[in-house]
């Protein structure tokens, strides 16, 4: 039988199951570093399918390289929740302390190594429970208040499991190694770097990562768009200022006022000059400072993010911002601390890998967008994986899997057309087969 037909038949026969899995992940949505139940379920399913090696816990993310990890207390509370919500008893203990994520490895002898990235985390969004919202009407809306799959990572996780099952069905025809990376904490761009730092992208020859994307941008029949464009490099910081409190009227000169350092910082961050290499973005999202009306403020925390059209432009903004913050602190006699809470590089897909995806997707009957570089606009930490692969001479691409969405991404009424699940599985599997079939 033609292998592309076999891929399609296999995917069609498991689609119902994959939709069920997506809805289960949707219902038990877990945001970054809390994906404990999700990871344990993925590890269980990969093991049962017969994936050769299933990596969990500290084997996946390098512990100290994880960014934006929640408090110990929140991690404990969510572990307990994951236990109560039916996390797999064998694999759940590995996720303690936020050691989430799973990597499945399928070994098919000599040949290239193909890596595929599926992110699995939910967002800090309160899901709409109105009957007009399908997940609520059909009983699979999030039971975890304040955590919601509002941009489709539930579908990504399900696509990854579908890819595992489908490639196992044609394993005899494949040559090389497949790495299925189920990445935690993509939101806030916090997780990918810690997987790269554990060496999982070293030696990878071909790499694909994807995201579901609203169909309206591409036209009715387009199933996938390989490539990337407009995805910004970014660095997220929590900035702390420490000063000295004093009576605001009696002895203001005895204080070191962090409020002034904050104000100086904000005005000057937004004054960073533009860069000829591309667009930049700067945002001060939150400021918390001070303790009382008549007290010179001695502690402040700011949440800021910086972005650039390329990694180089982002680096420029970061260096400038560091100077601004350091100078603002010094000006007012305060000390400061900057903690990196997340980061991503710009996405630069390789034409050769885009062409692989395009040709393969067409062989399984999917319509591929005419342009190679669909607009993105946000940031993606899959960029760390791509960059590592490219640095070592491998090739990589991003891919958008299209779906009619009921609301914009990150909205509390977001839902997707589940046709994106089989389409995504087919595109991934056909590409892997094309690369790994015997020449």
Distance of closest approach, residue 414 Cβ to Zn ion, in angstroms: 10
Give me the residues that bind Zn ion (CB under 5 A), please. Answer: 151
Dist CA 324 CA 336 (whole Å): 11
Distance of closest approach, residue 249 Cβ to Zn ion, in angstroms: 50
In whole angstroms, how far apart are CA 421 and each of 66, 128, 157, 233, 374?
Answer: 29, 23, 10, 28, 20
What does the radius of gyration of the chain's CA atoms come to, in whole angstroms?
23
**Which residues make Cβ contacts (< 8 Å) with residue 186, sequence separation at least 6?**
32, 119, 121, 153, 192, 380, 381, 382
Residue 125 vs 364, nearer CB to Zn ion: 125
The DSSP letter of residue 111 is S
Residue nearest to Zn ion (CB): 151
Residue 112 vs 378, nearer CB to Zn ion: 378
Dist CA 51 CA 107 (whole Å): 8
Neighbouring-strand partners of residue 115 = 179, 207
Residue 113 vs 231, nearer CB to Zn ion: 231
Residue 185 vs 364, nearer CB to Zn ion: 185
Distance of closest approach, residue 395 Cβ to Zn ion, in angstroms: 24
Distance of closest approach, residue 416 Cβ to Zn ion, in angstroms: 11
The DSSP letter of residue 255 is -
Residue 151 vs 215, nearer CB to Zn ion: 151
Distance of closest approach, residue 357 Cβ to Zn ion, in angstroms: 19
Distance of closest approach, residue 211 Cβ to Zn ion, in angstroms: 6
**Which residues make Cβ contacts (< 8 Å) with residue 384, sequence separation at least 6?**
192, 193, 195, 196, 344, 345
Residue 36 vs 151, nearer CB to Zn ion: 151
Distance of closest approach, residue 12 Cβ to Zn ion, in angstroms: 26
Residue 8 vs 213, nearer CB to Zn ion: 213
Distance of closest approach, residue 382 Cβ to Zn ion, in angstroms: 10
Strands 206-214 and 113-119: parallel
User: 304 — phi, psi (to 5°)?
Assistant: -125, 155
Dist CA 435 CA 439 (whole Å): 9
Residue 151 vs 354, nearer CB to Zn ion: 151
Q: Are 60 and 94 in contact (CB under 8 A)?
A: no
Q: Is 175 left (phi over 0), alpha (psi -120 to 50) or beta?
A: beta
Closest CA to 225 of 95, 428, 107, 402: 402
């Amino acid at each position: 039988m033609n292998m592309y037909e076999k891929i399609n038949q296999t995917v069609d026969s498991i689609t119902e199951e994959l939709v069920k899995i997506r809805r289960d992940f949707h219902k038990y949505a877990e945001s970054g570093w809390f994906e404990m139940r999700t990871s344990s379920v993925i590890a269980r399913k990969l093991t049962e399918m017969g994936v050769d090696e299933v990596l969990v816990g500290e084997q996946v993310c390098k512990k100290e390289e994880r960014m934006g990890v929640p408090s110990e207390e929140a991690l404990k509370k969510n572990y307990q929740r994951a236990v109560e919500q039916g996390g797999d008893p064998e694999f759940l203990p590995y996720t303690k302390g936020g050691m989430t994520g799973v990597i499945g490895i399928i070994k098919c002898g000599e040949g290239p190594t193909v890596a595929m990235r599926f992110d699995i985390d939910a967002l800090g969004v309160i899901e709409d429970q109105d009957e007009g919202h399908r997940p609520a009407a059909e009983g699979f809306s999030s039971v975890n208040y304040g955590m919601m799959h509002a941009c489709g990572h539930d579908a990504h996780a399900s696509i990854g499991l579908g890819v595992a099952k489908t490639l196992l069905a044609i394993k005899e025809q494949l040559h090389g190694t497949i790495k299925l990376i189920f990445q935690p904490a993509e939101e806030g761009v916090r997780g990918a770097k810690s997987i790269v730092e554990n060496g999982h992208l070293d030696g990878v020859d071909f790499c694909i990562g994807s995201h579901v994307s609203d169909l309206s941008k591409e036209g009715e029949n387009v199933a996938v768009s390989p490539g990337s464009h407009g995805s910004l490099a970014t660095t997220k910081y929590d900035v702390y200022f420490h000063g000295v409190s004093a009576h605001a009227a009696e002895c203001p000169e005895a204080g070191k006022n962090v409020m002034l350092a904050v104000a100086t910082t904000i005005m000057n961050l937004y004054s960073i000059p533009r860069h000829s290499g591309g667009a930049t973005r700067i945002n001060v999202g939150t400021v918390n400072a001070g303790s009382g009306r008549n007290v010179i403020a001695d502690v402040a925390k700011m949440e800021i993010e910086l972005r650039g059209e390329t990694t180089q432009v982002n680096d420029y903004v970061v260096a400038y911002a560091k100077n601004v913050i350091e100078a603002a602190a010094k000006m007012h006699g305060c000390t400061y601390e900057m903690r990196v809470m997340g980061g991503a590089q710009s996405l630069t897909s390789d034409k050769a890998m885009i062409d692989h995806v395009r040709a393969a997707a067409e062989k399984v009957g999917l319509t591929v967008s005419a342009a190679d570089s669909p607009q993105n606009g946000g940031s993606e930490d899959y960029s760390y994986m791509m960059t590592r692969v490219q640095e070592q001479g491998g090739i990589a691409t991003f891919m958008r899997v299209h779906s009619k969405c009921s609301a914009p991404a990150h909205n509390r009424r977001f839902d997707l057309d589940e046709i994106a699940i089989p389409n995504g599985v087919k595109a991934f599997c056909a590409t892997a087969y094309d690369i790994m079939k015997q020449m």
